[in-house]
Amino acid sequence: MIGGDDPGAQFDHHLTAVGPERIWVAEQDSVVVGLTGLIVDGTSAEVEPVVVTDGERGRGIGRALVKRVIEEAGALGIGLLSVRPVGRNTAALRFFRDSGFNVLGHIEALMDLSEEREWIDGETIAGREFKV
Ligand SMILES: CC(C)(COP(=O)(O)OP(=O)(O)OC[C@H]1O[C@@H](n2cnc3c(N)ncnc32)[C@H](O)[C@@H]1OP(=O)(O)O)[C@@H](O)C(=O)NCCC(=O)NCCS
C-alpha cells in the first residue's frame, strides 16, 4: 500500500524531497535487492526506508544497509538517529534493536474509533499491554 496507486510517482516525490545523495541501494549481480535512505532534519535524521527484496531477506543485506546509513549519518554530524517501524512489525523491531537502536523515543498510541481495523495482542510497555 506504500505509495498508493502510483508508487513510482510517490518515490519520485520522496527522491526530490530527500535528495538522491541520501539514498543507497544494495546490488546483487547488478540487480537492486535493497534500499535505504536518510531523512535529515538539522542534527537529527530518520532512517527511512529500509527494505530488502522478499526472497533475499535473512542474508545480512538489511544489516549492511543500516551499517552504511549509520556511517553516513556519522559523517554528516548527525547526533540522533531514529527509525519508526509500525508497532506490529516485530521482525523490524528486533532487527533495529539488534542493529543498535536501543533507546525508545516517542510512542504513538492510537484509539481506533472506527473499529474497522483488526488489531492483535502485542507489546507491554510501562507495565501496560498494547495491541498492535
Ligand atoms: C527488516 C529487514 C529490512 C531486514 O533485512 P534483512 O536483510 O532480512 O536483515 P539481515 O539479513 O541483515 O538480518 C539482520 C538480523 O535480523 C534478523 N531478521 C531479519 N529479518 C527477520 C525476520 N523477518 N524475522 C526474524 N528475524 C529477522 C536476522 O536473523 C538477523 O539476525 P542475525 O544478524 O543475528 O543473524 C527486512 O526484513 C525487510 O525488508 N522487511 C520489510 C520492510 C520493513 O519492515 N522495513 C522496516 C520498516 S521501518
CB 70 within 8 A of CB 81: yes
Cβ-defined contacts of 21-29 (< 8 Å, 24+): 22/72, 24/65, 24/68, 24/69, 24/72, 26/52, 26/61, 26/64, 26/65, 28/56, 28/61
Question: 126: which DSSP letter?
Answer: T
**Predicted model pTM:** 0.89
Is 124 a member of any domain? no
Answer whether residue 129 is part of any domain: no
CA atoms of 99 and 116, how far apart (whole Å): 34
Using the mean position of ligand 1's atoms as its centre, give its distance from the Cα of residue 114 in Å: 32
How close is the Cα of 115 to the center of ligand 1, in Å? 31
Type of residue numbered 129 = E
Residue 111 lies in a domain: no
**Residue-wise pLDDT tens digits, 30-64:** 999 999 999 999 999 999 999 999 999 999 999 99
Domain containing residue 40: 7-106
* Ligand 1 atom at minimal distance to the Cα of residue 65: 12
- 19 belongs to a structural domain: yes
Ligand 1 atom with minimal separation from the 89 CA:
44
Cβ 59 under 6 angstroms from ligand 1: yes
16 membership: H or E segment, kind and range: helix 7-18
pLDDT for 60-113, tens place per residue? 999 999 999 999 999 999 999 999 999 999 999 999 999 999 999 999 999 999
**Is 113 a member of any domain?**
no
The total number of structural domains that make up the chain = 1
Domain of 68: which CATH number? 3.40.630.30
Residue 39 forms part of a structural domain: yes
In a domain, 95, yes or no: yes
Residue 117 placed within a domain: no
Going by alpha carbons, the residue nearest to atom 20 of ligand 1 is 58
